[in-house]
Chain A
Amino acid sequence: EIWLTQSPATLSLSPGDRATLSCRASQSVSSFLAWYQQKPGQAPRLLIYGASNRATGIPARFSGSGSGTDFTLTISSLEPEDYALYYCQERFTGWTFGQGTKVEVK
């Protein structure tokens, strides 16, 4: 079973800042890594698939990188609507989620 560890647990940033979120897998998941955004009271929304591909309708300020065991989600310049929870998920051996990173207003 693959474990995903996300860091940091909480990221406190101001609007316009660059956000860098990390997801580390316990073993290689190749590029089968996705990122989701979840706002309070809402279902998750797919942001990134295949480690670096933006899903339909996702703004260009969101980007993903990495392969193997280390992955990064970058938000180049935080907009007010980007404050949310972010989860990574592997699709290499199953459907495991990371524990999430909360991006909050500093």
Chain B
Amino acid sequence: EVQLLESGGDLVQPGGSLRLSCAASGFTFGIYTMAWVRQAPGMGLEWVSAINLGGRTFYADSVQGRFIISKDSSDNTLYLQMNSLRAEDTAVYYCAKEGGHTLPFDSWGQGTLVTVSS
């Protein structure tokens, strides 16, 4: 059974940094594209970043240059380093697994809440 468990969400001041983690199990982590998707309070889903099996990274314009996605295939963990945080980054952040090349997200974590406020 695929399991994705996010952690690291917290209250952080504007301009601060935070690192999210997603512990994956139940599948061969290294061969799937993994991603972060966020949802601001009362709002829709927004794709944030993705990393493919070769380690190529992709970012939404809203986080380009501030967020860094990475993965450690030796311990099946996905990361999101978030820098220069803004109030508009406040959201639940979900870790998601693609079902295969160009397939959508077939597994999601339960989410971790990031609040950016002074």
Q: Measuring CB to CB, which residues of chain A are less than 8 angstroms from any residue of chain B?
A: 32, 34, 36, 38, 43-46, 49-50, 55-56, 85, 87, 89, 91-92, 94-100
Q: Are B105 and A46 in contact (CB under 8 A)?
A: yes
Distance (whole angstroms) from the CB of B56 to the closest CB of chain A: 13
Q: Are A46 and B106 in contact (CB under 8 A)?
A: yes
Q: Hey, what's the 0/1 contact readout for B81-97 against A, CB within 8 Å counting as 1?
A: 00000000000001000
A residues less than 8 Å from B53 (CB atoms): none
A residues less than 8 Å from B50 (CB atoms): 95
Q: Are A97 and B47 in contact (CB under 8 A)?
A: yes
- B99: interface (CB < 8 Å): yes
Chain B interface extent, by class: 10 to 19
Closest Cβ neighbor of A46 among chain B residues: B106
Q: Are A95 and B35 in contact (CB under 8 A)?
A: yes
In Å, the complex CA distance between A100 and B46 comes to: 11
- Could you name 5 residue pairs across A and B whose Cβ atoms are closer than 8 Å? A34-B104, A45-B108, A50-B103, A87-B44, A95-B58
A residues less than 8 Å from B28 (CB atoms): none
Distance (whole angstroms) from the CB of A7 to the closest CB of chain B: 14
In Å, the complex CA distance between A85 and B39 comes to: 13
In Å, the complex CA distance between A44 and B97 comes to: 12
A residues less than 8 Å from B103 (CB atoms): 49-50, 91
10 nearest CB pairs, A to B = A34-B104, A43-B108, A95-B47, A97-B45, A100-B44, A99-B44, A49-B104, A46-B106, A91-B102, A87-B45
Closest Cβ neighbor of A92 among chain B residues: B102
In Å, the complex CA distance between A43 and B5 comes to: 12
Q: Are B45 and A49 in contact (CB under 8 A)?
A: no
Distance (whole angstroms) from the CB of B115 to the closest CB of chain A: 17
Q: Are B45 and A44 in contact (CB under 8 A)?
A: yes
B residues less than 8 Å from A89 (CB atoms): 45, 47, 104-105
